[in-house]
Amino acid sequence: MFAQVTKIKQHQQGLSTLLKHKQKLQLQGAYPLARLHVIESQLLNHLYVLSDLKNDAPKDYFAGKNLAQVSHLTREEFIKLALENPQYSDIYTLVLQKLNFVNLSNTADTFFTLKASDQLSHYSILKSLPSQWQLEDNKSLRNSIISNKEVLDESATTILFSQSMSESEQSNAMSHTNFNIAYPALVNAYCNNVVDLSDILFKVFAKTDDESHKAKLLALAGLINDPRWDESCLLFCTANPDQCQYVLTHFVYKRALPLFIKLMGQGVTQKPAYAAWLAITARELAKADKIALIEPSASQKVHSGINLDDAEHARQAFALVSGEQLLNGISFTSKNAKQKLKSLAGTVVQRVLAPQFEQQKACALYHVLLSAEQWQTYIKESLSAE
């Protein structure tokens, strides 16, 4: 009995530790695909054991079922389980993405079918499966939402505005005052390679007050090769250092590296900017010499930061390597991006490559972080099709 309790405790601790490691890894935006695969496989192993020992485990994640039984649940049964236990959302997303569900992944039920049965909340879970982003034409419903005659939750709205739209419909959506409508429409435009997207983004950004919304818009702007956004990014990151790493990691064009150096030179943004620098360049920087700062009070403080000269030397070296974009130290162009980045995973990796996939799938890749196996499959299939 003691051995059983010890075994459960070890697996519970392993699960908790790995979930933290996964979250920390995902914050980087770009990292080795193999590393994510190892973490997810270990997580699933811990879950298998804990679900088999459910009667003695301190936490029952699957309502008395083991994972073999969970994989045979109907869609409604699994969704009900997930919605009733939001504190385990990371676990349910992993299980959904990793297991071969018998009755979950079919797309026979349309968006309207779920809407008619008041089950659109299912998309808060189903969005983790890109297959669920393939909707039938819902233009009339989109028009009702744009005209404020109808309101859907964020997940359903995002998927609805990730479909093919006419130019006028997309324009109305992108300029909408409801950010939950405007943002997916803007992402849709990015995935569809709309030429004047940067100009449209400027207009939306200028009238947006919410800082979290501004961060999302700046991240999208970072994927566009437009130097006009550099100053906005600098000012925003300086005022919102907690958003700096997320935003700056999306500025994947080499010409933006001086922006990283400026932000690393500011005390308030040094740490998040350096984290973003590492995600983009995979190049560690030397420490700056210690500098004694004498304050008016005559008290002495010692400050040790990043050697910005080393950063500038690294920037110049990267500029000499072919390719205008950079991620995890890999130089690439839009033409060779999939081949060059195939060993990487992460939010930024998916977003960089999203426009090279079919539109609905591209939008899913932008909004949803896939499991290692899902992403590897997508890359392999895409490369083999070329």
* Digit-coded pLDDT (tens) for 32-61: 999 999 999 999 999 998 888 766 666 788
The ranges assigned to domains in the chain are 1-106
Which band of pLDDT confidence, cut at 50, 70 and 90, is reported for residue 295? very low
Q: What 3-state class would DSSP assign to 291? A: strand
Higher pLDDT, 333 or 299: 333
pLDDT in tens, 141-196: 999 999 999 999 999 999 999 999 999 999 999 999 999 999 999 999 999 999 99
Higher pLDDT, 101 or 40: 40
Look at residues 213, 252, 245, 210 and name the one whose alpha carbon lies nearest to residue 229: 252
Strand-pairing partners, residue 345, are: 31
**Residue 302: φ, ψ to 5°:** -110, 125
Is pLDDT above 80 for 371? yes
Output the CA–CA distances (angstroms, integers) from residue 82 to 9, 65, 75, 193, 234, in the order listed.
24, 13, 11, 35, 40
Predicted local confidence at residue 105, as pLDDT? 54
User: For the chain, what is the largest distance between any 2 Cα atoms, rounded to a whole number of angstroms?
Assistant: 74
Q: What percent of the chain has pLDDT over 90?
A: 74
pLDDT in tens, 59-92: 788 888 889 899 888 888 899 999 999 999 999 9
Look at residues 33, 35, 139 and name the one whose alpha carbon lies nearest to residue 378: 33
Ranges assigned E (strand) in 122-260: none
* CA gap 217, 313 in Å, rounded: 30
Which band of pLDDT confidence, cut at 50, 70 and 90, is reported for residue 297? very low
Ranges assigned E (strand) in 296-364: 300-303, 325-327, 330-332, 344-345
Is pLDDT above 80 for 291? no
* CA gap 100, 148 in Å, rounded: 39
Is pLDDT above 60 for 223? yes
Which band of pLDDT confidence, cut at 50, 70 and 90, is reported for residue 1? very low
Predicted local confidence at residue 290, as pLDDT? 58
Q: What is the mean pLDDT of the chain?
A: 90
Amino acid identity, position 273: A
Output the CA–CA distances (angstroms, integers) from residue 83 to 12, 42, 62, 123, 127, in the order listed.
22, 25, 12, 11, 13
C-beta separation of 280 from 260 below 8 A = yes
C-beta separation of 376 from 37 below 8 A = yes
* CA gap 380, 386 in Å, rounded: 10
- Alpha helical stretches, state H, 99-195: 111-116, 123-126, 139-146, 154-160, 167-174, 179-191
Residue 26 tokens read as: 């995902």
If one counts every other C-beta atom within 10 angstroms of the C-beta of residue 113, the result is 11
* CA gap 188, 141 in Å, rounded: 17
Is pLDDT above 80 for 300? no
pTM given for the model:
0.93
